[in-house]
Chain A
Amino acid sequence: MLAEFSSVLRATMLGVQLGMTLALVAAGLTLIFGMLDVINFAHGSLYMIGGYLGVTVASQFGSFWLALLIAPLAVGVVGAAIEVFGLRALYGRNPLYHILLTFGIAIMVQGLVVEIWGGQSLRIEAPEMLSGTVSVGPVQYPVYWLFVLAISTVLIAAVWLMIDRSDLGILMRASAHDTEMVDALGIDVSKVFTGVFVFGAILAGIAGVLLGASRSVSPGMGFGVIIEAFVIVVIGGLGSFKGAVYGALLVGLVTAYGALIAPSVTDIFLFAMMAVVLMVRPNGLFGATEAA
C-alpha cells in the first residue's frame, strides 16, 4: 500500500513538473499562432538550440546559471532572425508557406546541430547546490527536479499575469485581435510580432536548458517536443495561453501516470485524447472562450 502511494506521488510530481516545463514550450507555440497566425514547426528546434547552447555555455564557463541566462537570450536572437528574415515576408499568405518554411528550418537546424555538436547525447551539468535528493513524504525526489518544477511554475504564472493584466498583454491581445486598428493607433505592429516571437523563443530556450540537465540533449529532442507541444496546443485550443497551460498539465500527468500503468500505450492514449477533444470540441478545451 505504501509502495503504491509513493508511486502515485512520484508520478504526480513528475507529471506536474513535466506539464509546467512543456507549458513553457507550448506557450510560445500557442502565442505565436494566436498573434501571428503562424504554425511554427521550428519551435521544437528553438527548444533544442536552448539545450545545446546550454551545454556549450555550461561546459565553457562551468556555470549552470550562466547557461540558464545566456542560452535562452541567444535563442531569442535566433528567434528574431527567423521572424525578421523568414516569416515576415510571408504574413497574410497561405499558412502552408509558414509550415513549409518553419519545417524547413527545423530540418536545417537538426542537420546543423549534428554538424556542430555531433550525434551523441550530451547533458548539462546541474549545479552542485541542487544535487542530491530530499524526502517528499515517502518519496526521495531529486532537488534539481523540484527546482525545475518551481521555476517553471513561477515563469508560467508570471507570463499568465503579464498577458492577463499588464499593458503589454493588452497590446499583444489587441494586435492579435485587430491588427489594423492597433496600427492606426500609431503602434508598430511588426515590432509587437517580433517581440512575441522572440518571447516565445526565449521560453522554449529556458525549457531546453532546464530539461537539458535532467534529460539528455540530443538531435532528436526538437522533433520529440514539437509533437508533444502540438498535442498540448490542440487539446488546449490553438492560440489560447490558458489552454496551453492546462493542456500541458494534462499531457504531463497522463505521460507520468501512463508510465506507471501501461507504458507501451501512453503515446497512443495521448493521441486518442487529442482526437476525442477534436471531435467533441474542435476548437480545443479553451479555444472558443478566449479571444487570444
Chain B
Amino acid sequence: MSHDSGTSTGSREPTNRSASTTSRRRFLAGSAAVGATALAGCAGDGGDDTLTVGHVLPTSGTYALLGESIMNGFDLYLEQNDGQLGGYEVETVQRDTSGDTDTGVSITREFLVEEGVDALVGPVSSAVAIAMMQTVQQESSAIWLNANAGDYRVTQDGCMDLHFRTSFNDWQTSAPLAQWVYDNVADNVALSYADYAFGQNSKTFFQEAFEEVGGEVVDEVAAPLGTEDYSPFLGDIEDSGADAVFSFFAGGDAVNYITQFSDFGLDENLTQTGSGFLLSEDTLPAQGEAALGKYSLLHYTATKETDRNQTFVSNYSGEFDRQPNVYACQGYDSAQALDVAASNADSTDASDLAAALSGAELDSPRGEFSFDPGTNEPLQSMDVREVVEGDDGVENEVVATIDDIELPDWGCSL
C-alpha cells in the first residue's frame, strides 16, 4: 500500500566526504557558528582554493537509484577533469536525504551553514526542492544546481538567481509532445497520470498544449501514487473511446502501468504516449515487450547517435559497468555547469558563480543547451522516442527531435 519503502537512517549516518581537508573544514564549521553568513566568502577570502560541493541526494528509499546515478555522472565528469572544476580542487560532501522533505532541508541547512559548501547538487524529489528554496535563499551562500527536481513552481515561486536547472522542468517533458501527437498520432486523447504534484502538472501542461493545437481530451484518469493494479483505470481508458493516451507515471508505477496496459490488450486500439519517465532506461528492462511501439518525450536518450553522447555512454559504462540513464546525464551536466561557472567567475562566491553561469551554454551528452538568462531554466531540444527491439532487449529510438521550444517564464524575470 505504501509506495515509499522507508528505510531512512539518513539523518544518523555520518557525512561521506571524498577529499582530505576534513580538519580544516571542521574548523571552518566551528567559526561558522559565530559568523554564519560570512562563510560563503571563506573560500575566496582565505585564499582557499577548494570548491566544496554538497550532494543533497537520496541513497536509500524509492529514489536511491536516481540519487546514485546523479552522483555517478557528477563523479565521471570530475574524474575526467582530474578532480578539478574551473581550476579549483573539488571536495564533495554527501548525505542521504532518503527522499524525505524534512531530512532534505536539514541536510541543506547543515551543508550551507556548517560545511560552508559553495554548490548544492540535487535534490531528486520536487517536494524536497520546494522545501529547500527558503533555506537556500536565506543563506544565499551557494549556487544551486538542480539535478532533477522538475517542478515548475521552483521557478514560479522561487525565481532565484542561485537556482539553475541542470535537468528539466515538468512543462518540458509534457507540453512539447502535444503538437507531435496531434500531427502524428491522434487528434483525441485520454490522459492518465500518477495522482501527485508532478503527475498533475504534466497532465495539465499536456492538456493545455493539446487543446491549443486543436486536439480534444476525452477522458482523464488519476491513479494514486504507488498503485499496483491498474485494471480499473485501464478499463476507464478503454471505455473512453480515445485513439491515444498521454500518461505520466515513473519508476515502479510506470512498469506496472505499461505492462498491464499491454496485458489487457489496450495496444490494439490505443497508442500510448507519455513523458519520458514512462519508458526510460530504468523501467524498460522490466517492461520488456509490453513497451514496444510506445512513444515518449525526454531531454536525454542514451541511444542517441551523436558523437558527444556515444563518448559519454562508453566512458560511463566503462566506469560503472552499466548504461547511463537520464539522471546520470543530469549529474554529469551539473559538474559541467559548475566547471563553466567557476572558470568564468574565477571565484567560488555564490553570486559570482551564478552570474557567470547565467545564459551560459553547455556541451551536454543530451545535445547543446543553455540557461535562459530570465529564469535559469535549460533551453534544450526534446527527443520523441519510440520503443523498439534492440540487440539486448527493448530500447528507445529517437524518431523526432523538437528544437527551439519556447519556454513559459511563469512570471519569473531575473
Contact = CB atoms under 8 A, between A and B. Distances in A.
Given A118-B65, A121-B251, A220 B3 contact: yes
A142 B264 contact: yes
A34 interface: no
Nearest to B322: A118
Contacts of A260: 232
Contacts of A144: 263
A119 B65 CA distance: 6
B269 to A, nearest CB: 10
B7 interface: yes
B195 to A, nearest CB: 6
Nearest to B6: A223
Interface string B1-36: 111111100000000000000000000000000000
B64 interface: yes
A10 B265 CA distance: 14
Contact of B224 (A6, A14, A223, A264): A264
Contacts of A215: 228-229, 256
B44 interface: no
> Which of B238, B263, B288 counts the most A-chain CB atoms under 10 A from its CB?
B263
Contacts of A11: 231-232, 235
A119 B60 CA distance: 9
Contacts of B263: 133, 142, 144-145, 214
Given A10-B235, A114-B64, A122-B285, A264 B2 contact: no
A204 to B, nearest CB: 16
A224 B239 contact: no
Given A220-B5, A263-B195, A119 B227 contact: no
B255 interface: yes
A contact face: mostly helix, strand, loop, or mixed = helix
Interface residues of A, number: 47
Interface string A102-135: 0000010011001000111111010000001100
Given A14-B229, A14-B232, A125-B288, A133 B222 contact: no
Interface string B279-317: 000110111100000000000000000000000000000
B392 to A, nearest CB: 13
B262 to A, nearest CB: 9
Interface string B35-70: 000000000000000000000000010101100100
A68 to B, nearest CB: 18
A140 interface: yes
B252 interface: yes
Given A6-B235, A263-B195, A264-B195, A224 B2 contact: yes
A258 to B, nearest CB: 9
Interface in B250-273: 251-252, 255-256, 259-260, 263-265
B402 to A, nearest CB: 28
Nearest to B234: A10
A218 B252 CA distance: 7
A121 B283 contact: yes
B232 A220 contact: no
A269 to B, nearest CB: 12
A142 B6 CA distance: 33
Given A121-B283, A140-B265, A263-B222, A256 B252 contact: no
B65 A120 contact: yes
A229 to B, nearest CB: 10
B373 interface: no
Given A220-B252, A266-B224, A259 B233 contact: yes
A183 B7 CA distance: 41
Contacts of A14: 229, 231-232
A7 interface: yes
Given A110-B7, A220-B5, A259 B227 contact: yes
A120 B264 contact: no
Contacts of B195: 263-264
A267 B64 CA distance: 25
Interface in A214-237: 214-220, 223-224, 227-228
Nearest to A7: B235
Contacts of A263: 195, 222-224, 227, 232-233
A260 B255 CA distance: 21
A18 interface: yes
A255 B252 CA distance: 19
Contacts of B229: 14, 18, 214-215, 255-256, 259
Contacts of A220: 2-5, 62, 226, 252
A96 interface: no
Contacts of A185: none
Nearest to A228: B1
B363 interface: no
A59 B204 CA distance: 39
A134 B181 CA distance: 31
Given A223-B2, A256-B232, A259-B223, A107 B7 contact: yes
A171 B283 CA distance: 47
B3 A224 contact: yes
Interface of A: 3, 6-7, 10-11, 13-14, 18, 107, 110-111, 114, 118-123, 125, 132-133, 139-142, 144-145, 214-220, 223-224, 227-228, 255-256, 259-260, 263-264, 266-267, 270
25 contacts: A6-B235, A10-B231, A10-B232, A11-B232, A11-B235, A13-B231, A107-B7, A111-B7, A120-B286, A121-B282, A122-B285, A142-B260, A142-B265, A145-B231, A145-B263, A214-B259, A218-B252, A218-B255, A220-B3, A220-B226, A255-B229, A263-B224, A263-B227, A266-B224, A267-B224
Given A120-B285, A145-B231, 20 more contacts: A6-B239, A10-B231, A11-B232, A14-B231, A110-B7, A114-B64, A120-B251, A121-B251, A123-B286, A133-B263, A140-B238, A145-B263, A214-B263, A216-B255, A218-B252, A220-B4, A223-B5, A259-B223, A263-B195, A267-B224
Closest CB pairs A-B (n = 10): A220-B5, A119-B65, A216-B255, A259-B232, A142-B263, A123-B286, A121-B252, A133-B265, A121-B255, A3-B239
